[in-house]
């Protein structure tokens, strides 16, 4: 069973121009998938459809095997969490602890259990020292980590990241990407990240490329990156590691190309030792 299964999904804001056009894809349970596309490709609209904030025009969305509809939307939100783009506009509580508690309160978790859960999830995102801090005292990256903690508190099966790092400075970005990787490695959480950070795409397992509301390509990062010209045409850049290993390939150093810096360094070290 897939964590998320989307079939023939269409959506329009004004009833005329479809921004999502007959989109179908499936996301395996426990996988780390990224959705990329230029601005206006419809990627954030998909996130809102998946979490039931928007209603599809046609087609269906299955979350953990259940078709999403108006009746089960509240119960399905026990299983799906989403971290949005703007760190400020999703911080609801007046302190970190209150904000993490917000979701627990909504899901009617008994009060006696809350403190333990809050401390546990805050520790998981390295925010234990800030439980009493007010949002104005936190950086963007810290606020996003609190948002992640708030979602972990309800122990979802799927977490969607909707351009969660695009408003952060590089440190914030790195800490959130690290957090995503950690969640994926340690827990069996399905991760769906909507992004235009090609470095992040390279670290994911599966990529869906959107163009003008349609699925243009899907596959592993490596398969996707084969279509360099197509990506360029869609205003998406190759990650540095890949473009550099292409150059090494042209120079006859590499036989293959690699998507991440780690792989490039490893490969070069091997070539050096055999030298």
Partner 1 sequence: MSIKIHQLEHVYNQNTPFSHAALKGIDLEIPEGKVTAIIGQTGSGKSTLVQHLNGLLIPTAGTLDICGYHIQPLLKIKDVKQLRKEVGLVFQFPEYQLFEETIEKDIAFGPKNFGVEEGEASQLVRDILPVVGLDESYLDRSPFELSGGQKRRVAIAGILVLDPKVLVLDEPTAGLDPQGAKEMMTLFMRLNREQNKTVLLVTHDMEHVMNYCDHVIVLDHGVVKQKSDVKTFFEHPEWIVNIGINPPSIIRLKMRLKEAGFDIPDEIIDEEGLLKCIKRQVKIHE
Partner 2 sequence: MNNIALGRYMPLNSVVHRMDPRAKIMILLFLMIAVFIPAGVWGYVLLSLFILLALFLSKLQLSFALRAMKPMIWMMVFLLVINVLVIKTGTLWFELGWFSIYSDAIYQTLYIVVRLTLMIIMTTILTASTKPLDLTLGIEKLLKPFDKIGLPSHIIAMMISIALRFIPTLIEETQRIMNAQASRGVDMENGTIKEKVMAILSLIVPLFVSSFDRADQLANAMEARGYNPMQERTRYKVLKMTGIDYVGLLASIALLGLCVVLAVVL
Binding site for partner 1 (CB under 8 A): 38-40, 139-140, 166-167, 169-171, 174, 196, 198, 235-237, 240-241, 244, 247-248, 251-255, 261, 264-265, 268-269, 271-272, 274-275
Binding of residue 91 to partner 2 (CB under 8 A): yes
**CB pairs under 8 A, 24+ apart, for 201-204?**
201/34, 201/36, 201/239, 202/239, 202/241, 202/242, 202/259, 202/260, 203/32, 203/177, 203/260, 204/32, 204/33, 204/34
Q: Quick one: 262 exposed, middle or buried, by C-beta within 10 A (0-12, 13-18, 19+)?
A: exposed
Q: Which is nearer to partner 2, 141 or 150 (CB)?
A: 150
C-alpha span between 112 and 204 (Å, rounded): 38
Output the smallest distance, CB 188 to partner 1, in A: 30
Q: Which is nearer to partner 1, 152 or 202 (CB)?
A: 202
C-alpha span between 263 and 120 (Å, rounded): 34
What are the percentages of helix, strand and coil residues in the chain, rounded to 5? 45, 20, 35
Binding of residue 6 to partner 2 (CB under 8 A): no
Output the smallest distance, CB 104 to partner 1, in A: 30
Instruction: Give strand pairing partners of 52.
Output: none
Output the smallest distance, CB 80 to partner 1, in A: 25
Q: Which is nearer to partner 1, 31 or 161 (CB)?
A: 161
Q: Which is nearer to partner 2, 47 or 231 (CB)?
A: 47
Binding of residue 48 to partner 2 (CB under 8 A): yes
Output the smallest distance, CB 208 to partner 1, in A: 16
Binding of residue 140 to partner 2 (CB under 8 A): no
Q: H-helix or E-strand containing 23?
A: strand 18-28
Task: Give contact residues for partner 2 (rule: CB under 8 A).
Answer: 48, 51, 53, 74, 77-78, 81-82, 84, 86, 88-95, 97-98, 101-111, 114, 118, 134-136, 150-151, 154
């Amino acid at each position: 069973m897939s964590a998320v299964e989307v079939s023939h999904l269409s959506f329009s804001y004004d009833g005329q121009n479809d921004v999502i056009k007959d989109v179908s894809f499936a996301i395996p349970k426990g996988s780390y998938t990224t959705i990329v596309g230029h601005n206006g490709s419809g990627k954030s609209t998909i996130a809102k459809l998946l979490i039931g904030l928007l209603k599809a025009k046609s087609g269906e969305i299955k979350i953990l095997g259940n078709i999403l509809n108006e009746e089960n939307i509240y119960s399905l939100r026990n299983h799906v969490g989403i971290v949005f783009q703007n760190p400020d506009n999703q911080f609801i509580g007046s302190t970190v602890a209150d904000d993490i508690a917000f979701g627990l309160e909504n899901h009617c978790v008994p009060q006696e259990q809350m403190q333990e859960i809050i401390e546990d999830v805050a520790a998981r995102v390295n925010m234990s020292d800030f439980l009493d801090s007010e949002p104005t005292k936190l950086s963007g990256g810290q606020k996003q980590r609190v948002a992640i903690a708030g979602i972990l508190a309800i122990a979802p099966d799927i977490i969607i990241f909707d351009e969660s790092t695009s408003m952060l400075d590089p440190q914030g970005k790195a800490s959130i990407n690290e957090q995503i990787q950690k969640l994926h490695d340690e827990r069996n959480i399905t991760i769906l990240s909507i992004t235009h950070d090609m470095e992040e795409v390279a670290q994911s397992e599966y990529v869906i490329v959107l163009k003008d509301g349609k699925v243009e390509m899907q596959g592993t990062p490596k398969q996707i990156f084969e279509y360099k010209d197509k990506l360029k045409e869609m205003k998406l850049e190759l990650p540095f590691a890949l473009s550099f290993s292409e150059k090494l390939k042209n120079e006859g150093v590499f036989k293959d190309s690699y998507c991440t810096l780690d792989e490039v360094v490893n490969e070069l070290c091997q070539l050096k030792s055999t030298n």
